[in-house]
Amino acid sequence: MKAIDACIFDLDGVIVDTATYHYKAWKRLANEMGFDLTEKQNEQLKGVSRMKSLDILLQIGNINLSDKEKAKKAEIKNQWYRAYIKEMKPVDILPGTIKLMEELKEEHIKIAIGSASKNARTIIERIKIEQYLETIIDGNKITQAKPDPEIFLLAAQEMNVTPENCIVFEDARSGVQAANNAGMKSIGVGNPDTLTEADYVIKGLNDMNLSLLQDIFYNNRK
Protein backbone atom coordinates (compact mmCIF):
# COMPACT_ATOMS: atom_id res chain seq x y z
CA MET A 1 0.00 0.00 0.00
CA LYS A 2 1.27 3.45 -0.92
CA ALA A 3 2.00 5.56 2.16
CA ILE A 4 4.59 8.04 3.36
CA ASP A 5 6.76 5.84 5.55
CA ALA A 6 9.86 8.03 5.70
CA CYS A 7 11.40 11.38 4.82
CA ILE A 8 15.11 11.63 4.05
CA PHE A 9 16.78 15.01 4.36
CA ASP A 10 20.05 16.16 2.89
CA LEU A 11 21.84 18.22 5.53
CA ASP A 12 23.83 20.99 3.84
CA GLY A 13 21.50 23.57 2.30
CA VAL A 14 18.33 21.90 3.59
CA ILE A 15 18.54 21.73 7.40
CA VAL A 16 21.57 23.99 7.87
CA ASP A 17 23.46 26.32 5.59
CA THR A 18 26.99 24.97 5.77
CA ALA A 19 27.62 25.99 2.17
CA THR A 20 29.13 29.23 3.42
CA TYR A 21 31.69 27.29 5.51
CA HIS A 22 32.56 25.01 2.57
CA TYR A 23 33.03 28.04 0.34
CA LYS A 24 35.18 29.78 2.95
CA ALA A 25 37.45 26.71 3.24
CA TRP A 26 37.70 26.04 -0.54
CA LYS A 27 38.36 29.72 -1.24
CA ARG A 28 41.10 29.76 1.40
CA LEU A 29 42.68 26.70 -0.24
CA ALA A 30 42.46 28.29 -3.69
CA ASN A 31 44.07 31.48 -2.38
CA GLU A 32 46.92 29.46 -0.87
CA MET A 33 47.51 27.89 -4.31
CA GLY A 34 47.60 31.32 -5.93
CA PHE A 35 44.16 31.81 -7.45
CA ASP A 36 40.65 32.82 -6.41
CA LEU A 37 37.33 30.96 -6.23
CA THR A 38 34.25 33.06 -6.98
CA GLU A 39 30.81 32.35 -5.55
CA LYS A 40 29.60 31.52 -9.05
CA GLN A 41 32.41 28.98 -9.57
CA ASN A 42 31.67 27.54 -6.13
CA GLU A 43 28.21 26.45 -7.38
CA GLN A 44 29.99 23.62 -9.25
CA LEU A 45 31.23 22.23 -5.92
CA LYS A 46 27.80 21.87 -4.31
CA GLY A 47 26.39 18.39 -3.79
CA VAL A 48 29.54 16.54 -4.87
CA SER A 49 32.17 14.66 -2.88
CA ARG A 50 35.23 16.29 -1.35
CA MET A 51 37.69 14.76 -3.84
CA LYS A 52 35.48 15.61 -6.82
CA SER A 53 35.18 19.16 -5.48
CA LEU A 54 38.96 19.35 -5.25
CA ASP A 55 39.30 18.14 -8.84
CA ILE A 56 36.93 20.91 -9.98
CA LEU A 57 38.87 23.47 -7.92
CA LEU A 58 42.20 22.37 -9.44
CA GLN A 59 40.65 22.56 -12.91
CA ILE A 60 39.54 26.14 -12.20
CA GLY A 61 43.07 27.02 -11.07
CA ASN A 62 44.64 25.03 -13.90
CA ILE A 63 46.77 23.09 -11.40
CA ASN A 64 47.92 19.47 -11.61
CA LEU A 65 48.68 17.51 -8.45
CA SER A 66 49.59 13.90 -7.67
CA ASP A 67 47.07 11.74 -5.79
CA LYS A 68 49.20 12.07 -2.66
CA GLU A 69 49.22 15.89 -2.93
CA LYS A 70 45.46 15.89 -3.59
CA ALA A 71 44.81 13.85 -0.45
CA LYS A 72 46.90 16.32 1.57
CA LYS A 73 45.05 19.37 0.16
CA ALA A 74 41.65 17.76 0.77
CA GLU A 75 42.60 17.05 4.38
CA ILE A 76 43.76 20.64 4.92
CA LYS A 77 40.45 21.94 3.55
CA ASN A 78 38.54 19.52 5.79
CA GLN A 79 40.44 20.64 8.90
CA TRP A 80 39.51 24.26 8.19
CA TYR A 81 35.89 23.31 7.49
CA ARG A 82 35.64 21.25 10.69
CA ALA A 83 36.98 24.17 12.70
CA TYR A 84 34.23 26.39 11.23
CA ILE A 85 31.35 23.92 11.85
CA LYS A 86 32.41 23.20 15.43
CA GLU A 87 31.11 26.68 16.20
CA MET A 88 27.58 25.76 15.01
CA LYS A 89 24.61 25.80 17.40
CA PRO A 90 20.87 24.90 17.31
CA VAL A 91 20.20 28.52 16.29
CA ASP A 92 21.83 27.65 12.93
CA ILE A 93 18.98 25.27 12.00
CA LEU A 94 17.10 26.69 9.02
CA PRO A 95 13.51 27.95 9.60
CA GLY A 96 10.72 25.38 9.46
CA THR A 97 12.95 22.34 10.07
CA ILE A 98 11.96 21.48 13.65
CA LYS A 99 8.26 22.22 13.06
CA LEU A 100 8.19 19.85 10.07
CA MET A 101 10.13 17.12 11.88
CA GLU A 102 7.74 17.32 14.84
CA GLU A 103 4.77 16.97 12.48
CA LEU A 104 6.38 13.92 10.87
CA LYS A 105 7.12 12.31 14.25
CA GLU A 106 3.49 12.82 15.35
CA GLU A 107 2.37 10.87 12.28
CA HIS A 108 5.00 8.15 12.93
CA ILE A 109 6.80 9.00 9.70
CA LYS A 110 10.45 8.02 10.04
CA ILE A 111 13.19 10.61 9.50
CA ALA A 112 16.71 10.09 8.18
CA ILE A 113 19.66 12.19 7.09
CA GLY A 114 21.21 11.35 3.71
CA SER A 115 24.31 13.50 3.38
CA ALA A 116 27.47 12.92 1.36
CA SER A 117 29.39 14.86 4.00
CA LYS A 118 31.75 12.88 6.23
CA ASN A 119 31.21 15.59 8.83
CA ALA A 120 27.42 15.14 9.03
CA ARG A 121 27.46 13.64 12.52
CA THR A 122 29.53 16.53 13.90
CA ILE A 123 26.95 19.01 12.56
CA ILE A 124 24.00 16.95 13.84
CA GLU A 125 25.56 16.81 17.32
CA ARG A 126 26.21 20.56 17.29
CA ILE A 127 22.64 21.48 16.26
CA LYS A 128 21.07 18.79 18.49
CA ILE A 129 18.51 17.07 16.22
CA GLU A 130 19.46 13.43 17.02
CA GLN A 131 16.15 12.79 18.81
CA TYR A 132 14.21 13.18 15.56
CA LEU A 133 16.34 10.79 13.51
CA GLU A 134 15.90 7.11 12.80
CA THR A 135 19.24 6.83 11.01
CA ILE A 136 22.10 8.87 9.57
CA ILE A 137 23.68 7.91 6.26
CA ASP A 138 26.78 10.00 5.63
CA GLY A 139 29.90 9.98 3.50
CA ASN A 140 31.51 7.40 5.78
CA LYS A 141 28.83 4.81 4.94
CA ILE A 142 28.71 5.06 1.15
CA THR A 143 31.01 4.27 -1.76
CA GLN A 144 29.05 5.95 -4.57
CA ALA A 145 28.43 9.69 -4.85
CA LYS A 146 25.11 11.25 -5.83
CA PRO A 147 23.47 11.01 -8.42
CA ASP A 148 24.00 7.32 -7.62
CA PRO A 149 21.01 6.30 -5.44
CA GLU A 150 23.11 4.31 -2.93
CA ILE A 151 22.82 6.86 -0.11
CA PHE A 152 19.01 6.96 -0.19
CA LEU A 153 18.53 3.23 -0.80
CA LEU A 154 20.74 2.52 2.21
CA ALA A 155 18.67 4.92 4.33
CA ALA A 156 15.47 3.12 3.29
CA GLN A 157 17.08 -0.24 4.05
CA GLU A 158 18.19 0.85 7.53
CA MET A 159 14.69 2.20 8.29
CA ASN A 160 13.11 -0.98 6.89
CA VAL A 161 10.88 0.93 4.44
CA THR A 162 10.37 0.57 0.68
CA PRO A 163 11.95 3.27 -1.54
CA GLU A 164 8.66 4.21 -3.23
CA ASN A 165 7.25 5.17 0.18
CA CYS A 166 10.07 7.65 0.84
CA ILE A 167 10.31 11.38 0.16
CA VAL A 168 13.70 13.08 -0.22
CA PHE A 169 14.47 16.75 0.45
CA GLU A 170 17.48 17.94 -1.57
CA ASP A 171 19.04 21.27 -2.52
CA ALA A 172 21.42 19.97 -5.21
CA ARG A 173 20.61 18.73 -8.71
CA SER A 174 22.75 15.61 -8.20
CA GLY A 175 20.80 14.86 -5.00
CA VAL A 176 17.45 15.21 -6.74
CA GLN A 177 18.70 12.87 -9.47
CA ALA A 178 19.83 10.38 -6.81
CA ALA A 179 16.37 10.44 -5.21
CA ASN A 180 14.71 9.92 -8.59
CA ASN A 181 17.14 7.10 -9.38
CA ALA A 182 16.16 5.48 -6.08
CA GLY A 183 12.50 5.54 -7.11
CA MET A 184 11.62 8.05 -4.39
CA LYS A 185 9.64 11.28 -4.47
CA SER A 186 11.99 14.27 -4.67
CA ILE A 187 11.37 17.71 -3.20
CA GLY A 188 13.86 20.32 -4.26
CA VAL A 189 14.82 22.97 -1.71
CA GLY A 190 16.07 26.13 -3.39
CA ASN A 191 16.01 27.47 -6.93
CA PRO A 192 13.33 25.91 -9.23
CA ASP A 193 15.46 26.84 -12.27
CA THR A 194 18.23 24.56 -11.00
CA LEU A 195 16.06 21.81 -9.51
CA THR A 196 13.96 21.15 -12.61
CA GLU A 197 13.98 17.36 -12.14
CA ALA A 198 12.39 17.49 -8.67
CA ASP A 199 8.76 16.43 -8.23
CA TYR A 200 8.13 19.66 -6.33
CA VAL A 201 10.26 22.66 -5.35
CA ILE A 202 10.10 24.85 -2.23
CA LYS A 203 12.28 27.79 -1.16
CA GLY A 204 12.88 26.32 2.30
CA LEU A 205 11.40 23.88 4.82
CA ASN A 206 9.26 26.68 6.28
CA ASP A 207 7.23 26.37 3.05
CA MET A 208 6.42 22.71 3.78
CA ASN A 209 3.86 21.07 6.07
CA LEU A 210 2.34 17.61 6.41
CA SER A 211 -0.79 18.50 4.44
CA LEU A 212 1.19 19.74 1.41
CA LEU A 213 3.56 16.76 1.70
CA GLN A 214 0.62 14.34 1.50
CA ASP A 215 -0.82 16.28 -1.43
CA ILE A 216 2.47 15.96 -3.35
CA PHE A 217 2.86 12.28 -2.49
CA TYR A 218 -0.67 11.04 -3.15
CA ASN A 219 -1.77 13.40 -5.93
CA ASN A 220 1.53 13.84 -7.78
CA ARG A 221 1.16 17.58 -7.35
CA LYS A 222 3.80 19.63 -9.19
| Active-site residue (options: 5, 10, 171, 199) | 10
CB of 55 closer than 8 Å to CB of 75:
no
Is 199 a catalytic site residue? Answer: no
Is 92 a catalytic site residue? Answer: no
Catalytic residues: 10, 12
